[in-house]
Amino acid sequence: MFVQDAWYVACTPDEIDAKPLGRTVCGHALALFRDAQGRAAAVEDFCPHRGAPLSLGFVRDGRLVCGYHGLEMGADGRVCAMPCQRVQGFPTIRSFPVVERYGFIWVWPGRAEHADEAKIPRFDWLASPDWAYGGGLYHIDCDYRLMIDNLMDLTHETYVHASSIGQPEIEESVPATRVDGDTVITSRHMQGIQAPPFWAAALRANDLADDVPCDRWQICRFTPPSHVMIEVGVAHAGHGGYDADPRYKASSIVVDFITPETETTHWYFWGMARNFKPGDAELTASIREGQRRIFGEDREMLERQQRNISAQPQRKLLGLNIDAGGVQSRKIIDRLIAAERQAPENLRSA
């Protein structure tokens, strides 16, 4: 149940700088590494000799060397050499389109001829010196769509994150959800509230008072296959809320790249980008640590949720008005999967 013809974040550049990395994306076991030109590459994590994981090997002169018997593999999936063996007849393994952009390594697990770099969403602020970014990675044992549900309905913050970003006004403010093409937007605005602990700290970091009434916003945007960007922030009340001058607010973009691994596991690349005090490395580290704790709380809830669902698959889950963002996101995913399955080339190979 994955969209295959799409770009997913597979890893961060530092994960493949020293040695190969084995990672499964949408059911495909990949070996990621850098070729002789330093470009990121991905091939099947399967040595054509004896089936060993190529990711357990090493890179030499831009070739991926199997750690079992020394077979050397190129970035195009072709066998280049093997000690004391002729390799001309060795089968080629599959290679995958790869792009390095915005501080991430993106992979296209679907039909290579359909891979188009222009389809990577634009996140220019991730590459701008006017913005600071800090984030991390979690492996989470749940269906990736449960994470999308979680991020498109922030009502849970009142309960799961009561000590950091949660507050009663969240559930008291009705969210609005709309669909724009393949994008789902769920928005919630709160006026005249006190900033919760995380945002009080952000106001102080931006040299703003943290004990005055504030306006708060959460604007969640889902784009397929599984990216969720959330504009969040607080502004001193009476200055325009979301549209307030930067002098009166602290705002950020919560970055969520959700990469399916299997039907019940995924890789979660999380982070936060901000455009206030971008050069303050200590502040970046502090925000990242706060986010790490917050997302750790989500992780426990989601994994326990998946266990319940897996144990009782016959149970039907309820859909309420607060679930509209996740429901609409799933509809888009289902439509794109259905379209891929109906593609002429897929029907020929069925």
Q: Give the CATH number for residue 323.
A: 3.90.380.10
- Do 175 and 156 share a structural domain? yes
Question: What pLDDT is recorded for position 86?
Answer: 79
Q: Of 95, 119, 143, which residue is a domain's last?
A: 119
- Do 235 and 311 share a structural domain? yes
Question: What pLDDT is recorded for position 350?
Answer: 42
- Domain of 53 in residue numbering reads as 8-119
Q: How far apart (Å, rounded) are the C-alpha atoms in residues 143 and 149?
A: 10
Query: DSSP E strands: which ranges in the chain?
Result: 8-11, 21-25, 28-34, 40-44, 58-60, 63-65, 72-73, 79-81, 95-96, 98-101, 104-107, 132-140, 176-180, 183-193, 214-223, 227-236, 249-262, 265-274
**By percentage, how much of the chain surpasses pLDDT 70?**
98
- Do 150 and 128 share a structural domain? yes
- Do 305 and 182 share a structural domain? yes
Residue 284, Cβ neighbours under 10 Å: how many? 19
Using alpha carbons, select from 92, 75, 81 the residue that is nearest to residue 40.
75
Query: What's 46's domain CATH number?
Result: 2.102.10.10
Using alpha carbons, select from 137, 175, 134 the residue that is nearest to residue 153.
175
Q: How far apart (Å, rounded) are the C-alpha atoms in residues 256 and 271?
A: 7
- Do 150 and 295 share a structural domain? yes
How many Cα neighbours within 13 Å face the side chain of 312?
A: 6
Which of 1-5, 91-95, 321-325 comes out lowest in average pLDDT?
321-325
Summarised one tens digit per residue, pLDDT across range 14-27 is 999 999 999 999 99
- Do 265 and 182 share a structural domain? yes
- Do 107 and 147 share a structural domain? no
- Do 177 and 315 share a structural domain? yes
Continuous segment of H or E residues that includes residue 172: helix 168-172
At residue 348 the predicted structure's pLDDT band, cuts being 50, 70 and 90, is: very low
- Do 140 and 89 share a structural domain? no
What is the token pair recorded at 178?
A: 């709309």
Q: Are 11 and 34 in contact (CB under 8 A)?
A: no
Mean pLDDT of 235-252: 94
At residue 295 the predicted structure's pLDDT band, cuts being 50, 70 and 90, is: confident
Mean pLDDT of 126-141: 95
Residue 245 pairs with which residues in a beta bridge?
none
- Do 109 and 157 share a structural domain? no
Residue 347 has pLDDT above 70, yes or no: no
Question: What pLDDT is recorded for position 195?
Answer: 93
- Do 142 and 46 share a structural domain? no
The total of structural domains in the chain comes to: 2
- Do 128 and 113 share a structural domain? no
Question: What pLDDT is recorded for position 342?
Answer: 87
Question: What pLDDT is recorded for position 346?
Answer: 63
**By percentage, how much of the chain surpasses pLDDT 90?**
77
3-state class (DSSP) for residue 117: helix
Show Cβ contacts of residue 348 under 8 Å, excluding neighbours closer than 6 positions: none
Cα-Cα-Cα-Cα dihedral sign, residues 140, 145, 150, 152 = positive
Looking up tokens 């005090």 gives 277
Residue 174 has pLDDT above 90, yes or no: no
Residue 329 has pLDDT above 80, yes or no: yes
Residue 241 has pLDDT above 70, yes or no: yes
At residue 345 the predicted structure's pLDDT band, cuts being 50, 70 and 90, is: low
Longest CA pairwise span in the chain (Å): 77
Residue 156 has pLDDT above 90, yes or no: no
Residue 85 has pLDDT above 80, yes or no: no
